[in-house]
Amino acid sequence: MLNRRRFLRQTAGFAVAGLTVPSAVHAANLPGIQAAAMRGSIDATDLGARPGALDDQSRIFARMLEKAGNQDMPLFLPPGTYVVSNLTLPRHLRLTGVPGATRIIYGGDGHLFAAEDAEHIELSGLVIDGANRWIGDHAQGLLDLRRVQHLVIDNCRIMGSGKNGISLERVSGRIERSEISGAADAGIYSVEAGKLQILTNMVSDCGNAGILAHRWQIADDGTMIFGNRIERILARAGGTGQNGNGINAFRANSVAIANNTIADCAFSAVRANSSSNIQIGGNSCMRSGETAIYAEFAFEGAVINANIVDGAANGISIVNMDSGGRMGVCSANIIRNLSTDGPYQPDPPGFGVGISVEADCAVTGNVIENAPRYGMNIGWGAFMRNVVATGNVIRKSGTGIGISVVEGTGSAVISDNVIDDAKNGAIIGHRWAKPATGDLASLEKSGFANLTVERNHVS
């Protein structure tokens, strides 16, 4: 059988007979074209695509996509620039280019790529540039993909979207090894995902969010967000936390967020709202504008483990017992260099708290340094129940540990912690925002039947 690669090799061998085809021979030496030939893909130039042409090639692309989809064959785009708009992707598509050299530019006439009810869509080796152009109301992103059974976006660069960079609705599959930058809204927005994987991407310079895993109603989601680098996320749409987050899970249960490096977000590095059974581990969170890591509102089950927080208004919060927020483990985190300044005027007790917890939580093995208000804050008013804080190191804080002693609070154990240089006391009971006791660390008994304070080391 004569495949494309063999044909190019044979025609190169006819040079002695004066039958050379120099452009074909040169093309065959390009790695992307060789790989495409080996896979038996369709070459876009054979169907009329013109790399580098300045005019709009949307009609040509529409025909190419339809042909590739009907034949269920890969479509290869040689290096060059292609200006297109309003393309609907077929149910089956494998579109590939030469990484960094194949550029698809949005022409600005409604949307770029859209898909609905597709079975398999794979995009690889492409630069997809929205050129910061207007996107119509019918589309939510530069890539607007809905109800895709299996999606692969690999080794692509997606930039300059007037809305979300990648917008997904009820999509399964993976996004990996790609760069998403300059989106006016979120870099990656996913709603109602089916076990989506977002792995080892770079997301930067987005207007309102880095990576969002959302659902319309609370349910299992299972999105895995691993090994990404997220930087410089703004909150242009305003608010007090719904925008400006590096990674945000909302109503999405069983989400795992691990080993990401997140820096310079207007609000949180990682924010989980009404998301149960969430795991947040091994993340590096630098210079967050508000609370670096948040598990809040209606959730049950949050494990926040082995993260590093350096620079934030607050470190880690596992709160909102009044709205059903409960059950957490906060362990082996390093939290330091917090500030009383934040992006808005806070409610009491204010910013500058290392760890805040309220209900059914174990806080153990953490190291907190330079928390100007509280190293740790346990409970808020009547909202405190079943908290254990043991084996933590708190150094250079306003108050080492604050704990609510309002009537009606549940049980708490504060033991075997090391508290060094707490200016306003090592362990202080408070009623809402006001101190209500002396230093409990110096007493043999706390004076509260529900509160055990013992074997803490203060210096």
Give residue-wise pLDDT tens across range 38-51.
457 899 999 999 99
Per-residue pLDDT, 67? 95
- Confidence check: pLDDT of 11 > 70: no
What's the pLDDT tens digit per position in 90-137?
A: 999 999 999 999 999 999 989 999 999 999 999 999 999 999 999 999
CA 44 to each of CA 76, 153, 271, 319, 336: distance values in angstroms, whole numbers, following the listed order: 6, 19, 43, 54, 54
| Element counts in the chain: helices (H) and strands (E) | 4, 41
Q: Given a cut of 90, is residue 192 above it in pLDDT?
A: yes
Using CA atoms, how far apart are residues 178 and 187, in angstroms rounded to an integer? 11
Quickly tell me which residue has 């017992």 as its tokens: 321
CB 64 within 8 A of CB 47: yes
Q: At residue 5, does pLDDT exceed 70?
A: no
Rounded CA gap, 126 and 107, in Å? 16
State how far the Cα of 276 lies from the Cα of 238, in Å rounded to an integer.
Answer: 26
pLDDT score of 129: 98
Q: State phi, psi for 184 to the nearest 5 degrees.
A: -65, -30
Contacts of 129 (CB under 8 A, 6+ apart): 103, 104, 105, 106, 159, 160
Is 18's pLDDT higher than 80?
no
Q: How far apart are CA 443 and CA 430, in angstroms?
A: 16
How much is the pLDDT for 400?
98
Residue 22 has pLDDT above 50, yes or no: no
- Judge whether residue 30 has pLDDT over 90: no
What is the chain's mean pLDDT, rounded? Answer: 92
Over residues 63-78, the pLDDT tens digits come to 999 999 999 999 999 9
Give bridge partners of residue 211 from the DSSP assignment. Answer: 188, 247
State whether residue 12 is helix, strand or coil: helix
Q: What is the mean pLDDT of residues 377-389?
A: 98
Domain boundaries, the chain: 94-458
CATH 3.40.50 fits 94-458, yes or no: no
Predicted pLDDT of residue 230? 98
At 310 the pLDDT is 98
Give the pLDDT score at 39: 53
> In this predicted structure, what is the pLDDT of residue 20?
32
Phi, psi for 437 (deg, rounded to 5) = -140, 170
| Mean pLDDT, residues 252-261 taken together | 98
Arithmetic mean of pLDDT, 190-207: 97
Residue burial 219-258, b: 16+ Cβ < 10 Å; e: rest: eebbbbbbbbbbbbbbbeeeeebbbbbbbbbbbbbbbbbb
Least confidently predicted of 4-8, 84-88, 376-380: 4-8
Q: What is the pLDDT of residues 439-456, one digit of tens each?
A: 999 998 999 999 999 999
Strand partners, 390: 364, 415
pLDDT tens string 384-431: 999 999 999 999 999 999 999 999 999 999 999 999 999 999 999 999
pLDDT (mean) for 308-325: 98
pLDDT at 26: 39
Average pLDDT in the 353-370 region? 98
pLDDT average, residue stretch 342-354: 95
Q: Using an 8 Å Cβ cutoff, are 210 and 169 in contact?
A: no
